[in-house]
Amino acid sequence: MSVDQYNLLYYFFKTAQAGSLTAAAKECGLTQPTLSVKIKSLEQKLNAKLFDRKRSGMSLTPEGLKIFESCQETFSRMEDVLSPIIEKKSVQTVLRIGTSFSVAPYEILKIKRILEEKIPDIFLRISSHSWEELRQKLERRQIDLAICDSNLQPEPLSLHRSALLSSSPVYLVSSHSLKAKISPFPKALREAPFLLRAPGNPIRLQLEKWLKKMRITPKIKVEVEDPELIRALALGGDGIVAINPLNIQEDLQQGRLTKLHPKPLGLYADTWLIAHKNPLGGVQISSALNACFNLKRESFLHPAPIKR
């Protein structure tokens, strides 16, 4: 392989990872027009279209994905060779974690503490995203680990591993003033306002199934994904929310919010870990991910393992 061919493949690989020419150009030390020319040159040499170009970014074509996987293996081997040398120079390990909006903060804090015990010099870069954004970032290698409330199953499935980390019961919660109007339970829910997560949210899907079983058509007042906003609306008495009580523990203890029913309804908030089977970043990143996937599930369940 010539130096020119190697460079073209490297620029393609970095563009696929970044998902945009602007971000990749900055990382490669090139201007965006120059990088665009490099990518087009590679496509001409291979006589294949490697990217679908959209307003939201660039995604790999089937041909592009095949080449990306081959490049990933090559560059990962190089990183494995170089990583011991780099590690001797005390380069800090950076683990990029993407979370879905509704993952409980205490789950992330537990993972953070365990990782810091295993790898004291680790630096965690944590960001929150929608499910679709998480899936795209996993596919583009823009994050090393996804912590989310459903098994995203990014494509292709054979390249990823996933594990259910925890499962906690979900309750219907509201302000005290709103609860006083909801009696008897659950019949009175027919007239009550609901604050629902975005369509497709795992908790919402379970709630809709439960309401259908109860023959209740919910009056949806607001659809919102942001956990802080949905909490604020519930505190203001705007509606009922289905939520993991561990996310609002202080509100329940201080009496700002209350459960509509003391017993679980059979709804659960799950936390999944998803990562690529062949991660980038060498030995240290692989060790960090293995530490996450080797976590004991029972230590995250509250108060005890749940039987469904």
pLDDT digits (tens, 9 = 90+) for 132-190: 788 888 888 889 898 888 876 655 556 688 888 888 899 999 999 999 999 899 999 99
**286-303 pLDDT, tens per residue?**
888 888 888 755 455 444
Q: How far apart are CA 245 and CA 259, in angstroms?
A: 9
Quote the tokens at residue 142: 């823009």
E strands, 151-266, in order: 160-174, 193-196, 219-223, 241-243, 258-259
pLDDT of residue 79: 65
Name the more confident of 257 and 162.
257
∠ Cα 282 288 289 (to 5°):
90
Q: How far apart are CA 194 and CA 33, in angstroms?
A: 50
**Contact assessment for residue 117 and residue 241, using Cβ atoms and an 8 Å cutoff:** no
**90-102 pLDDT, tens per residue?**
456 788 999 987 7
Q: Above 70 in pLDDT, residue 82?
A: no
pLDDT of residue 115: 82
Where residue 284 falls among pLDDT bands split at 50, 70, 90? confident
**Contact assessment for residue 50 and residue 43, using Cβ atoms and an 8 Å cutoff:** yes
Across 2-14, average pLDDT:
84
Q: How far apart are CA 56 and CA 36, in angstroms?
A: 17
DSSP three-state, residue 100 = strand
Residues present in the chain in total = 308
Residues 6+ apart with CB under 8 A from 87: 282, 283, 284
Of 41-45, 52-56, 58-62, 120-124, least confident by mean pLDDT is: 52-56
pTM, two decimals, is 0.61
Name the more confident of 80 and 254.
254
Where residue 308 falls among pLDDT bands split at 50, 70, 90? very low
Across 241-266, average pLDDT:
91
Q: Give the burial class of 176: count Cβ atoms within 10 A of its Cβ; 0-12 exposed, 13-18 middle, 19 or more buried.
A: exposed
pLDDT of residue 210: 95
User: What domains does the chain contain, in order, with CATH numbers?
Assistant: 3-86 (1.10.10.10), 90-166+270-299 (3.40.190.10), 168-268 (3.40.190.10)
pLDDT of residue 305: 37
